[in-house]
Chains A and B, each alone.
Chain A
Amino acid sequence: AQTVTQSQPEMSVQEAETVTLSCTYDTSESNYYLFWYKQPPSRQMILVIRQEAYKQQNATENRFSVNFQKAAKSFSLKISDSQLGDTAMYFCAFHSGAGTASKLTFGTGTRLQVTL
């Protein structure tokens, strides 16, 4: 079974600064998908960024980018130019690429607070 670990329960960053959230995972598969989701206080889970394991290039979406290290099974999220609206819980998630089973396995989340 796959596991996803987020070792930083809480983080704080000042507005306009850069912050990196960590995520490691454990799997024996070679083909899979990784995601970062954001859950603001409103509770709506929002997809931030995705990474296919077969792609070596790190995904980027505007101010959000990932550092995907497949051999180390590491998938960190970098938020540049942090904004107050980035305050939220951030979840790392794994989706297997094998078989027909469709299921996201989530980490425990990192609570990010952006301050003035």
Chain B
Amino acid sequence: KAGVTQTPRYLIKTRGQQVTLSCSPISGHRSVSWYQQTPGQGLQFLFEYFSETQRNKGNFPGRFSGRQFSNSRSEMNVSTLELGDSALYLCASSASARGYEQYFGPGTRLTVT
């Protein structure tokens, strides 16, 4: 089985722009979670989707949003980018309806200048 894929792998954006990141889960996995990883804050949970519904959301401003499609692929969007949004964004998928055992993609490295 193919693993979790994320596109693009690297992205450079300017402050104030918006960005959309994509995640394709492992085939058959319906739970998709997103995490932000920074040197200062570590790994922080953004949100989780299951069957196109957001089930859980982390403590991030409304500029961070996401969605999941009927084929379980997910996208996350960040509007009005700030310098502090520079991070590695990781997507993870799980076969469990509860999302216990999560498998991660390679991440998207976002740099905001």
Given contact pairs A97-B98, A103-B99, enumerate 19 new A-B contacts (beta carbons under 8 Å).
Answer: A33-B100, A42-B106, A43-B109, A45-B90, A45-B104, A46-B104, A47-B103, A47-B104, A95-B99, A100-B98, A101-B55, A102-B50, A102-B99, A103-B45, A104-B43, A105-B45, A107-B42, A108-B42, A109-B42
Q: Tell me whether A106 is interfacial, beta carbon within 8 Å.
A: yes
List A contacts of B16 (CB < 8 A): none
CB 8 Å contact bits of A78-107 with B (1 = contact, 0 = none): 000000000000010001010011111111
A-B contact pairs, 30 of them (CB 8 A): A33-B100, A33-B101, A43-B88, A43-B106, A43-B107, A44-B107, A45-B104, A45-B107, A50-B101, A91-B43, A95-B100, A97-B100, A100-B55, A100-B56, A101-B48, A102-B48, A102-B56, A102-B94, A102-B100, A103-B33, A103-B45, A103-B58, A103-B99, A104-B35, A104-B92, A104-B102, A105-B45, A106-B42, A107-B42, A109-B42
Instruction: List the 9 closest pairs (A to B, CB-CB), nearest first.
Output: A102-B99, A45-B104, A106-B43, A101-B56, A102-B48, A103-B45, A44-B106, A33-B100, A108-B42
Contact residues of A with B, CB < 8 Å? 33, 35, 37, 42-47, 50, 91, 95, 97, 100-109
Residue in chain B with minimal CB distance to A44: B106
* Minimum Cβ distance to chain B for residue A62 (Å): 17
B residues in contact (CB < 8 Å) with A: 31, 33, 35, 42-43, 45, 48, 50, 55-56, 58, 88, 90, 92, 94, 98-107, 109
A103 to B98, CA, bound (A): 9
Cα-based distance from A104 to B50 in the complex (angstroms)? 15
| Known interface pairs A33-B100, A43-B88, A95-B99; A102-B31 also in contact (CB < 8 Å) | yes
B107 partner residues in chain A, CB cutoff 8 A: 43-45
A50–B100 alpha-carbon span in the complex (Å): 10
Least CB separation from A106: chain B residue: B43
Chain A residues contacting B56 (CB-CB under 8 Å) are 100-103
A101 / chain B contacts, CB cutoff of 8 Å: 48, 55-56
Across the interface, name the chain A residue whose C-beta is closest to B9: A43
